[in-house]
Amino acid sequence: MPEIPDLEAIRHYLMPRLDGLTVTHTEAPIPWLVRTGTEGLATLAGHRFGEIHRLGKFLLFFIDAGRILVINPMLTGRFHWVEAGAKKTGRMGVIVAFDNGHELRYSDMRRMGRWYLVAGPEELPTIPQWPTLGPDAMAVTEDEFLARIKSRRGQIKATLTNQEFICGIGNAYSDEILWAAQLHPHRRRATMDEADLRRLYACMREVEDESIAIVDATVQGEGLGKKEEWREHLKVHRQGGKPCPRCGSEIKAQVRSGSETNYCVVCQPLFE
């Protein structure tokens, strides 16, 4: 699933390329991905895209008429920026064509992504999940983070990935953040003191900032359309059986309900 560094890199890649271009037409080969109806998507023709913002795992494309195109790529949504004549990949879901001969294409192998076209910011709460989203992980202050997390009692990985607590962190980067903070993913928040929580916040910002820079540089060099997220730089996620980069102990891998958790049993003790 694309997380903050992936979506930030996509945003940074697309914004200068879309700037000043006019939409000529749209297509929706998988129409149910477009939750406002394909007729609504067709009304983008003749309009221009402006800034692209991100909130959590949503990308917000601002349109010149005040509308906002909101995209949640979910598990397997992928963006492609190609010339109009380029060969189409499998499970092509939505195509937005521009007057410079390029197309923004969106493919989705599991067809789980969602596109919403709303009239303006006042309609954002009509998008499912939107009203319950917590603050973005890259915007929340340390004080707000501490205030929000102190009411949580459960396992810390589940807390970090709960989009109602803060939004944007998923399975991969929660592993990286907890490894950096030397906190076991199954440790309960209630067992942590303020020093643990402040360290967790600092590591969250450091891991995300560092990863944004790495993924950004990769995408600017390689372009969009890769089948997987950009994960080559991660230290522990999906590194089960390999030595911990910090202490050399074996990284443990646990799979529950198809979701993998990775951590070092030495660096990240369950009990203090």
Instruction: Concatenate the DSSP letters of all residues of 28-82 into one string.
Output: -SSGGGBTT-HHHHHTTTT-BEEEEEEETTEEEEEETTS-EEEEE-TTTEEEEEE
> Is the model's pLDDT at 218 over the cut of 90?
yes
Dihedral sign of CA atoms 164, 165, 166, 171 in order = negative
Number of other residues whose CB lies within 10 A of the CB of residue 187: 20
- Distance in angstroms (rounded) separating the CA atoms of residues 127 and 228: 26
Dihedral sign of CA atoms 196, 198, 199, 200 in order = positive
* pLDDT attached to residue 51: 95
> Is the model's pLDDT at 243 over the cut of 90?
yes
What would the pLDDT profile of 62-104 be if each residue is shown by its tens digit?
Answer: 999 899 999 999 989 999 999 999 988 889 999 999 999 999 9
Q: Which is nearest to 55 in space by CA: 125, 152, 146, 154?
A: 125
CB 236 within 8 A of CB 172: no
What would the pLDDT profile of 158-206 be if each residue is shown by its tens digit?
Answer: 999 999 999 999 999 999 999 999 999 999 999 999 999 999 999 999 9
* pLDDT attached to residue 272: 59
* Average confidence (pLDDT) over 128-151: 97
What would the pLDDT profile of 21-49 be if each residue is shown by its tens digit?
Answer: 999 999 999 999 999 877 899 999 999 99
* pLDDT attached to residue 244: 97
* pLDDT attached to residue 152: 94
Number of other residues whose CB lies within 10 A of the CB of residue 258: 6
Q: Across the chain, where does the E strand assignment appear?
A: 23-27, 49-55, 58-63, 68-72, 77-83, 92-98, 102-108, 114-118, 251-256, 259-264
* pLDDT attached to residue 88: 86
Share of the chain above pLDDT 70, in %: 99
For tokens 């945003």, name the residue: 11
* pLDDT attached to residue 100: 96
Between CA 149 and CA 157, with CA 152 as vertex, the angle to 5 degrees is 80
* Prediction pTM value: 0.94
User: CB under 8 Å to 41, separation ≥6 — which residues?
Assistant: 26, 28, 34, 94, 115, 117
Share of the chain above pLDDT 90, in %: 88
* Average confidence (pLDDT) over 249-263: 92
Question: What is the set of domains in the chain, with CATH numbers?
Answer: 4-120 (3.20.190.10), 142-264 (1.10.8.50)
Q: Which is nearest to 64 in space by CA: 45, 79, 84?
A: 45
